[in-house]
Amino acid sequence: MVEVWLPYNNTEVVAKVPDENFLDIIDGKEVKGVDNPTELISNSIENPVSGMKLEESAKSGDKVAIVIDDETRPSPSHLIIPCLVNKLNQLGIKDDSITIIVGSGMHSSRLDKMQDLIGEEYSKRFNVVIHDCNSKDLVYIGKTSFGTEVYINKFFANADFRILTGDIDLHYFAGYGGGRKSVLPAISGIKTIQQNHKFLLNPKARTGNLDGNIIHKDMEEAAHLAGVNFVVNVVLNPQKEVIQSFAGDMNQTFLQGVKLVDEIYKVPVGETASIVIVSPGGHPYDVDLYQSYKGVDSVLNIVKDNGIIILVAECSQGYGNEVFYEWMVKYKTIKNLERELKRKFVLGGHKAYYFMKALEKVRIILVSIIPDYYTTNVFKLHTAKSVNAALSAALRMKGKKSKILVVPHAATILPILQK
């Protein structure tokens, strides 16, 4: 029996896979987090990969806007912000000239949660604002070559010096998170986000791909329109520890991070399996079904047609998105979903599209705390009370000799099937 521990919210559960069924554990390279991440981040700020140093570009008296990720991402803003503001203070930029913007995109965040993101001291020291994509105070800054009208947060638009922070990782339609994504969608208006995200139906808008990816190119143009001056991006290991930090010019910083992410998180796989046991990677990746889908998406190419994915995700916030739920109820076929997305893109509807597309290929057994009413009736999933109960059910469905792959951090890796 092979025992594999899978992240589940902030704890772990164990899957017990019979030796005769076990194929492999698919995970990113084991990379130890650095002993002193603060020193690493500070050094990256002092020595940017390209572009001007902060002391060559930011000056005393500048109004500075810094974008941080919201709580749905594992970015260590509590480490990055102190390093940045200490440097800005050294340059004569006072605390009251610095605004920290929570780049929540279409998510919702709360000010009383800011101490969890940046620490109690920094949440009190600075003007912290949560971006509202539906705000009437957004600033129009131009149109991309793809026709996207770019409206962004007024604090960022009106700043003299603009900084992005975050982590670089794999993303299932932007190719990668990080860099330009901290402008679009993070601090953009709803109209801008919808116009950009409609391109996700393009076959090149997929995990780990930038070549010909219109969503990525559109995001990049939007960020250039916004006038980004400096970026600090980190790369994390599967345990969410900092392994490297890059700072400086937005494009070059991003590409350096992407190169490292590819080395760690693109994982070669020798063969497909009839059953794949998946955890998105625990909190925050499994906070709801909407977020947890990323784990399913990354393994679709390594599960056989008509195979089974066992999704181990607590989903403490349920299904997580009302539009996602409504579209799963309303549209019964993938063609109807796709037609509606082309007619009028609605965020949340896209996740229903991806979900239904996955269900055309595989069956999904969900191990979570979501009531069965939703999981079976609305989302067309099988359910189980534990991962091992799900495994027993999967073996009954696919046969006792079925081969099994286990992917403990599926939201952050990309298995690459070797042809």
CATH for 51: 3.40.50.11440
Strand 242-248 and strand 230-236: pairing? antiparallel
Answer with the residue of higher pLDDT: 119 or 136. 136
- Contact (CB, 8 A) for 271 and 415: no
In a domain, 206, yes or no: yes
User: Tokens standing for 369?
Assistant: 């705390």
Are 334 and 205 in a shared domain? no
In a domain, 242, yes or no: no
In a domain, 259, yes or no: no
pLDDT digit string, tens, across residues 46-60: 999 988 999 999 999
Are 11 and 104 in a shared domain? no
Instruction: Provide the pLDDT for residue 37.
Output: 97
For 94, residues 6+ apart whose C-beta sits below 8 A from its C-beta are none
Q: What value does the mean pLDDT take over residues 338-359? A: 89
User: How many C-alpha atoms does 226 have within 13 Å on its Cβ side?
Assistant: 42
Quote the domain boundaries for residue 290.
Answer: 2-28+265-417
Instruction: Provide the pLDDT for residue 118.
Output: 84
Instruction: Provide the pLDDT for residue 121.
Output: 85
Of 236, 251, 284, which one is at a domain's C-terminal end? 236
Residue 375 DSSP symbol: I
Are 274 and 212 in a shared domain? no
pLDDT digit string, tens, across residues 172-212: 899 999 999 999 999 999 999 999 998 988 999 999 999 99
Q: In the chain, how many domains are there?
A: 2
Cα(391)–Cα(370) distance, integer angstroms: 19
What's phi and psi for 122, nearest 5 deg?
-75, -30
Are 203 and 75 in a shared domain? yes
Strand partners, 98: 64
What is the H or E stretch that residue 404 is in?
strand 404-407
Instruction: Provide the pLDDT for residue 343.
Output: 82
Are 186 and 272 in a shared domain? no
Place of tokens 């607590």: 314
What's phi and psi for 164, nearest 5 deg?
-110, 145
In a domain, 217, yes or no: yes
Are 169 and 281 in a shared domain? no
91 three-class SS = coil
Cα(150)–Cα(145) distance, integer angstroms: 11
Are 96 and 168 in a shared domain? yes
In a domain, 241, yes or no: no
pLDDT band at 110; cut points 50, 70, 90:
low
Q: Is the pLDDT of residue 146 over 90?
A: yes
Sign of the dihedral through C-alpha 193, 199, 203, 204 = negative
Per-residue CA distances from 165 to 82, 85, 302, 373 (Å): 12, 12, 33, 40
Query: Which amino acid would we find at residue 133?
Result: C
In a domain, 43, yes or no: yes
Of 216, 236, 256, which one is at a domain's C-terminal end? 236
Per-residue CA distances from 412 to 313, 318, 355 (Å): 14, 21, 18
pLDDT band at 111; cut points 50, 70, 90:
low
Instruction: Provide the pLDDT for residue 72.
Output: 76
Cα(296)–Cα(307) distance, integer angstroms: 12
Calculate what percentage of the chain has a pLDDT beyond 70: 99
In a domain, 282, yes or no: yes
Are 273 and 412 in a shared domain? yes
- CB neighbourhood size of 295 (10 A): 27
User: Tokens standing for 164?
Assistant: 């992005």
Are 149 and 57 in a shared domain? yes
- Contact (CB, 8 A) for 174 and 250: no
- Contact (CB, 8 A) for 281 and 409: yes
Instruction: Provide the pLDDT for residue 119.
Output: 81
Mean of the per-residue pLDDT values of the chain:
94
Are 188 and 323 in a shared domain? no
Cα(404)–Cα(21) distance, integer angstroms: 6
pLDDT band at 112; cut points 50, 70, 90:
low
- Contact (CB, 8 A) for 404 and 299: no
The domain that holds 370 is classified in CATH as 3.90.226.30
In a domain, 245, yes or no: no
Are 21 and 51 in a shared domain? no
90 exposure class (CB count in 10 Å sphere: 0-12, 13-18, 19+) = exposed
For Cα atoms 139, 110, 236, give the angle at the middle one, nearest 5 degrees. Answer: 85
Are 13 and 61 in a shared domain? no
Of 192, 215, 236, which one is at a domain's C-terminal end? 236
pLDDT digit string, tens, across residues 281-292: 999 899 999 999
DSSP string covering 123-179: HHHSEEEE--TT-TT-EEEEE-TT--EEEE-HHHHT-SEEEEEEE--EETTTEE-SG
What's phi and psi for 92, nearest 5 deg?
90, 10
